A and B are shown apart, each in its own frame.
Chain A
């Protein structure tokens, strides 16, 4: 077995990461990257609701689909629980999540939906066991708290993607984009290197970058500012998306990134979908999303791409947070590719 192959297998095995990880780190990668074990047939995915409330019937399409992929499903105690907007009280949600991250029989955890609530329990969670035996955690939006927290504190990779509430009820009637985005979760979980190709955008800033991918919901990232879950962007590729915000608010959030130094050592910026709230009558902001971003980042020379398929929208593909990627923003096209441990 040559060295490349050996490293590759160490990464994908990952079950006893202590040795494999440290060797990998020493040889190739100065950045701390802990990759959870990829899933295989018969592995178990736990479903929990650490933020908003969700009913049992709302997660059935996700269960059926993931079972058809060959995985087993374990439904957490917070599914069907309700404390107003939340999937149970803070303690109930924290307990369910804690159990899932500590349960050796669960190989990955899908958050059933976002909403709001993760930040209320993040400091109650104990990641000691989990850091020794990390597993894939899947979600986006409010779960940006988890992605950022895990990357910042433990260097553990996680999957930013659609959740249970986005699986189509009837697979046979689903649009192609729905099927593709849901399938991208399977691809990410199974360990196939991720690759995204998209059209060029006239506002893109050209260039190439390599770095660990981090990011998520911009508003959530802003509200993590200064906390111990605050995103670290130095040497990394950052992606952001948001929904339901006014342009002025998006402008203020990008100023927050700039003024908290998040751009100063960034390698690349990926701007996903931004579903805008229409300006109030007579309050026309007078700048587009593109203007807002470019006026902050034009002084930097890192590549920037717009309209990346990530966000609160149909074309929201799975992204591996905490994993090294290569971003190539060219005049005619944009690509983002996971750099596999073998360096390919």
Chain B
């Protein structure tokens, strides 16, 4: 049984850290203000707006310590990753989840944060929140940003998406797993690898070559990750790149072909992505996916 961290109340504290790439403080200001306007206190970790001069928000030890402090601090009720980028894979095996397991809290983020989601779900069966991060708040309080608030405070997710020509209709219920395809592929065979049997899998990615999307899907397929899914959600695959000799299929066609031999429901173009359209989704929590001719719904059980 998956443990759902406690919902947040007014006055609870959300910590913001950058366990991967560097983020200047100004880019998170609006996020901080918005969280405060929702009634939360915000604690900013050392890795947000750090004085780092390279890609990372800080070196491995500093990123690890900042995250570990937030994880172990009983005052902090949720941790929002300021941004993704790359870097959690470098520290994941050094994070100590002992206190966190006794006193779970909601970890929020996506992209590189897929490593945390997969690791925590696979090893500790604790739910976490795949959702927009600090920069998304700069676009205003749209429904995607607001979905974080509802997820944190206990309103069950109930999302509707548009129909898509490649959808496969049907209904499925199962624990939701997934995230960024490149990270999911990268984690195969490690201690953070996810199990997908009887689950609803969602995947999204950005800026990948089409051939590489194909190759990663073949990797997961050859690992048996697709055989026994309950259902599949395809999020945004945006800013794709192609080789000089064109691949000859769109990303939707690539995905459709890979999954053509299975019969579970599939929803294409679901609003989970590196773009504005990115609903908060609870990893590890059971959802019902209904793919109908006219529309798609994803409802928390």
For the complex, is A23 an interface residue (Cβ under 8 Å from B)? no
Interface majority SS on B: helix, strand, loop or mixed?
loop
Contact B55 A225 (CB under 8 A): no
Contact B55 A84 (CB under 8 A): no
A190 to B54, CA, bound (A): 50
The 9 A-B residue pairs whose C-beta atoms are closest, nearest first, are A84-B248, A286-B54, A259-B190, A227-B222, A260-B189, A226-B188, A116-B211, A226-B189, A226-B223
For the complex, is A119 an interface residue (Cβ under 8 Å from B)? yes
Contact A252 B55 (CB under 8 A): no
24 pairs, CB–CB < 8 Å, chain A vs chain B: A84-B248, A85-B243, A86-B248, A115-B211, A115-B243, A115-B245, A116-B243, A119-B219, A223-B215, A223-B216, A225-B189, A225-B219, A226-B193, A227-B222, A249-B86, A252-B186, A255-B89, A256-B189, A259-B89, A259-B93, A259-B190, A259-B191, A260-B190, A285-B54
For the complex, is A52 an interface residue (Cβ under 8 Å from B)? yes
Residues facing A in B260-297 (CB within 8 A) are none
Contact B188 A283 (CB under 8 A): no
Contact B215 A119 (CB under 8 A): yes
Residues of B within 8 A of A248 (CB): 55, 85-86
Give the number of residues in A that approach B within 8 Å (Cβ atoms): 34
Report B's interface with A, CB cutoff 8 A. Answer: 21, 53-56, 85-86, 89-90, 93, 185-186, 188-193, 211, 214-216, 218-219, 222-223, 243, 245-249
Residues of B within 8 A of A52 (CB): 245
Residues of A within 8 A of B89 (CB): 252, 255, 259
CB B177 to nearest CB in A, in angstroms, measures 16
For the complex, is A224 an interface residue (Cβ under 8 Å from B)? yes
Contact A223 B55 (CB under 8 A): no
Which residue of chain A is the closest to B246 with respect to CB atoms? Answer: A84
Contact A230 B245 (CB under 8 A): no
For the complex, is A320 an interface residue (Cβ under 8 Å from B)? no
Contact A284 B53 (CB under 8 A): yes
Contact B245 A53 (CB under 8 A): yes
A86 to B216, CA, bound (A): 17
Contact A284 B245 (CB under 8 A): no
Residues of B within 8 A of A249 (CB): 86
Most buried by B among A119, A123, A259: A259
A253 to B183, CA, bound (A): 11
Residues of B within 8 A of A286 (CB): 53-56
Residues of B within 8 A of A228 (CB): 222
Most buried by A among B216, B222, B243: B222
CB B94 to nearest CB in A, in angstroms, measures 12
